[in-house]
Chains A and B, each alone.
Chain A
Amino acid sequence: MWGRFAGHRLLQLIPVLIGVSFIVFLTMHLTPGDPIEHMLGQAGRITQAQIDELRSHYGLDRPFHIQYGLFLRNAAVGDFGTSYSHQGRSVSEVVAERLPATLELTLFAFVLAIALAIPAGVFASLRPQGPFDRTATVAALLGISMPGFWLGIMLMIVFGLRLHWLPISGRVNLALIPQYVTGLHTFDALLAGQWAAFWSALKHLMLPGLAMAAPMAAMVMRMVRSSMIGVLAQDYVQFARAKGLPETAVIGKHALRNALIPTVNIVALQTGLLLSGNMIIETVFQYPGLGKLAVDAIAAADYPLVQAVVLIYATSYVLLNLGADVLHAALDPRVRLA
């Protein structure tokens, strides 16, 4: 049953990706900026013949629909072409180099947000309008209202430049880069038992991770709080108490599981926003991930690279929603029948 459900959803990925790629392709071609000019930069004397040669080398002289058709055909077999702005390296290679960094940062921000939001939301719901709830509400309001780039800069100023507690750019102390296994520095360092490298990588994740996690933690916390307040008023919570269960089981088991059902969708949505927040946060923190790669690629009119990065983002959106649906069904037996 699960296999069919997931398989069906994965098939839906194909039209989504085709649609997304078409829109990106079109937008990139309508945007001003000529990739060849970017490529040549200030290379000095270049003849029109040389420009035409490059243009035909990359297929940019052909009509739009042919270019798009070629892209689709090659993408179907996993070939995303050659990057214009990375000295002729393949797009797959460039992306593969940056993907782990973004995965690591996003995962860190996700875990941080959830670890803050769920306990805080539950705790706030136990005494609505109590001191903790009021404090958490103000904190959530700040988390939602502060733009990511501004929060990022503030964190850099306070914790990096003034207090010198945490690094403000990069992924890890370059002298300590652990051996490549997963590409996630913290994991690799743990696998190799290199504590100094692990600690360095973790410290580099702190500020960008916090800047990314803040709005998500705020939204999820508010959702957990309000859904817990609703659930705590339910008869089954009263009945659980009447059965003689300790309050920890009443809250942590009977109430929380039901309160998490509506929260799952918010978490999926917010994780999507987390991914798009990447571009800003990675740029602010000079973090060598996919988001910064995308921003740079757009500036350089590097069509193939932009295309590939956007497709990765689109795929993760669809997978996130699939994950949310599966988790939803796992938590709530009532949706399993549908």
Chain B
Amino acid sequence: MKGPLLQVQDLHTRFETYRGTLRAVEGVSLRVARGEIVALVGESGCGKSVTALSIMRLIRAPGKITGGRVFLDGEDLLAKSEAEMRDIRGGRIAMVFQDPLSTLNPTFTVESQITETLRVHGVASGAEARSRAVELLEAMGIPAAKDRLRSYPHELSGGMRQRVMIAIAVSCQPELLIADEPTTGLDVTLQAQIMDLLASIKQERGLATVLITHDLGVVAQFAERAAVMYAGQIVEECPVSQLMAEPLHPYTRGLLRCVPRLGRPDVPISPIDGVVPDLVNLPDGCRFAPRCPAAMERCGQAIPRLYPVGGERTVRCYLHEPPDAPATAREGD
């Protein structure tokens, strides 16, 4: 079957706060092909996680998805009933979160948390679910898997907890995995092990993955394509190799300059000046303009579109506007 597995079109998610409307995600579009790893990159608060939760339709009051569409294999998830969504969550789209200690329920055993998922999706129950749980833990590289079933999360190490969480996520053979900062908070050795595990799962099961991270090292190593988010919008999207070799958007360039270069002590680390804009009071024009070293007058007036710049690459910056483009774009286009 052709067509992308996941297609997000012009997604808008807002939160009504006492200060006003917080525009967390505005006009995000994203495509993920079967078996592909796409990274969603950006700093804290840029809307990566809200995008993920919107795809899962797990945004709760005072948040609301106010526009856009999310297609999974051509089916519009935003049009589904809550019961249909429950089958999709954990069944066809699974999610792993940042901190496995707070993500696993402290009062239930590993066994109960794995078999519960298998049962609710009708995959297996009783003794069969139990043996499936052991297989899953073994596949995640957990030694003495059978004994671990009786463990509670606090009795496991950080890496083991992360493996248990991934085991739960892949237990019902999902087509898409959304990994929200899966390695943040783990030490570097564990980060590599967990990322290798995710890569091998992807290899074996053909699992498409949306990898949400702020770690450009992880992106460079594991992702095939990357979308860079800033203040609720995607500012640049392209294959990772291009992103690393030649970032186009000034924000992406800034991000890459924040990463220390191994063996290149002569290249200074330079942070991006200024702060992320307040999502309740966004600037009129390009959201990065107030911090952008290359900002022009028009940058402060209207938001640029995502301009195609050859191949699969798009950039939201007037510097890369094709000569024949219309003067301005609608907001969030």
Interface size on B, residues (CB 8 A): 30
Q: Is there contact, CB below 8 Å, between A234 and B107? A: no
Cβ of A236 and Cβ of B104 under 8 Å apart?
A: yes
- Distance of B80 from chain A, by nearest CB (Å): 13
B89-A242 in contact (CB<8A): yes
Q: Are B102 and A334 in contact (CB under 8 A)?
A: no
- Across the interface, do A234 and B102 meet the contact criterion of CB distance under 8 Å? yes
Residue of A nearest to B91 (CB): A244
Q: How far is the CB of B185 from chain A (nearest CB, A)?
A: 12
B97: Cβ under 8 A from any A Cβ: yes
Q: How far is the CB of A331 from chain B (nearest CB, A)?
A: 7
The answer to whether the Cβ of B73 comes within 8 Å of any Cβ in the partner chain is no
Q: Are A243 and B90 in contact (CB under 8 A)?
A: yes
**Count of chain A residues near B, Cβ 8 A:** 21
Determine the chain A residues whose CB is within 8 A of the CB of B302 once the complex forms: none
Which among B56, B86, B94, B165 is the interface contact of A245 at CB below 8 angstroms?
Answer: B86
Contact A242 B120 (CB under 8 A): no
Bound-complex Cα distance A333 to B150 (A): 11
A242:B105 contact, CB within 8 angstroms = no
- Our pick among A236, A332, A333 for the contact of B103 (Cβ within 8 Å) is A236
Q: Which of A235, A243, A257, A333 gathers the greatest number of chain B CB atoms within 10 Å?
A: A243
B window 115-174: CB within 8 A of A: 116-117, 120-121, 152, 154, 165, 168, 172
Q: Does A249 contact B (CB under 8 A)?
A: yes
Query: A239 interface residue, CB < 8 Å from B?
Result: yes
A239 touches B103 (CB 8 A): yes
Q: Are B121 and A244 in contact (CB under 8 A)?
A: yes
Q: How far is the CA of A234 from the CA of B103 in the complex (A)?
A: 8
- A246–B84 Cα distance when bound, in Å, is 11
Q: Is A98 an interface residue (CB 8 A)?
A: no
Cβ of A9 < 8 Å from any Cβ of B?
A: no
Find out whether the CB atom of B152 lies under 8 angstroms from the CB atom of A334: yes
Distance between A191 CB and nearest chain B CB, rounded to angstroms: 37
Cα(A332)–Cα(B106), bound, Å = 8
Interface membership of B58, Cβ < 8 A:
yes
Assess whether B228 is interfacial by the CB under 8 Å rule: no
Known A238-B97, A242-B56, A334-B154; judge A254-B105 contact (CB<8 A): yes
The answer, among A238, A241, A246, A333, for a CB contact under 8 Å with B107, is A333
A258 touches B106 (CB 8 A): yes
| A residues in contact with B53, CB < 8 Å | 238
A257 CA to B152 CA, complexed, in Å: 14
Complex CA gap A331/B105 in Å reads: 12
**CB within 8 A of A243: which of B102, B108, B117, B154?**
B117
CA distance A258 to B53 in the complex (A): 23
Bitwise interface map of B from 94 to 114 toward A, beta carbon under 8 Å scored 1, else 0: 110111001111111000000
| Residue in A236, A240, A258 with the greatest tally of chain B CB atoms within 10 Å | A236
The docked-state distance in angstroms from the alpha carbon of A189 to that of B105 is: 44
Q: In the docked arrangement, what's the CA distance between A234 and B104, Å?
A: 10
Do the beta carbons of A242 and B107 come within 8 Å of each other? no
Q: Which residue of A lies closest to B107 (CB)?
A: A257
Assess whether B186 is interfacial by the CB under 8 Å rule.
Answer: no
In the complex, A39→B105 CA distance in Å? 63
Residue B201, interface by CB 8 Å:
no
A240 to chain B, nearest CB (A): 7
Instruction: Determine the chain A residues whose CB is within 8 A of the CB of B172 once the complex forms.
Output: 244
B224 within 8 A of A: no
Contacts of A254 on B, CB cut-off 8 Å? 105, 108
* Chain B residue with the shortest CB-CB distance to A244: B90
Beta-carbon contact of B56 and A236 below 8 Å: no
Query: For B88, B104, B107, B172, which residue has the most chain A Cβ atoms within 10 angstroms?
Result: B107
Which of A234, A242, A254, A331 has the most chain B CB atoms closer than 10 A to its own CB?
Answer: A242
Q: Max chain B CB contacts within 10 Å: which of A240, A261, A331?
A: A240
Residue of A nearest to B82 (CB): A247
* Partner pick for B105 among A236, A241, A244, A246, CB 8 A cutoff: A236
A244 touches B89 (CB 8 A): yes
A3 to B154, CA, bound (A): 24
- Taking a contact as CB atoms under 8 Å apart, the answer to whether A235 and B103 are in contact is yes
A262 to chain B, nearest CB (A): 12
- Across-interface contacts of A332 in B (CB, < 8 A): 106-107
Complex-state Cα separation, A238 to B90, whole angstroms: 12
Tell me if B87 counts as interface (CB < 8 A to partner A): yes
Q: Which residues on A sit within 8 Å (CB–CB) of B165?
A: 239
For the complex formed, measure the closest distance between the CB of B250 and the CB atoms of chain A, giving whole angstroms. 34
CA distance A331 to B107 in the complex (A): 7
**In this complex, what residue of B is CB-closest to A334?**
B154
Alpha-carbon separation in the docked complex, A161 to B137 (Å): 67
Q: Report chain B residues within 8 Å CB of A331.
A: 107
Complex interface residues of chain A between 204 and 263 (CB less than 8 A to chain B)? 234-236, 238-246, 249, 254, 257-258, 261
Nearest 7 interchain pairs by C-beta: A244-B90, A244-B89, A243-B90, A235-B102, A236-B105, A242-B95, A333-B152
| A-B contact list, 23 entries, CB within 8 Å | A235-B98, A235-B99, A235-B102, A238-B53, A238-B97, A239-B95, A239-B103, A239-B105, A242-B90, A242-B94, A243-B90, A243-B120, A244-B86, A244-B88, A244-B117, A245-B90, A246-B86, A254-B105, A258-B105, A332-B106, A333-B107, A334-B106, A334-B154
Q: Give the B-binding residues of A (Cβ under 8 A).
A: 234-236, 238-246, 249, 254, 257-258, 261, 331-334
Besides A235-B99, A239-B165, 5 more A-B contacts (Cβ < 8 Å) are A235-B102, A239-B104, A246-B86, A246-B120, A334-B154
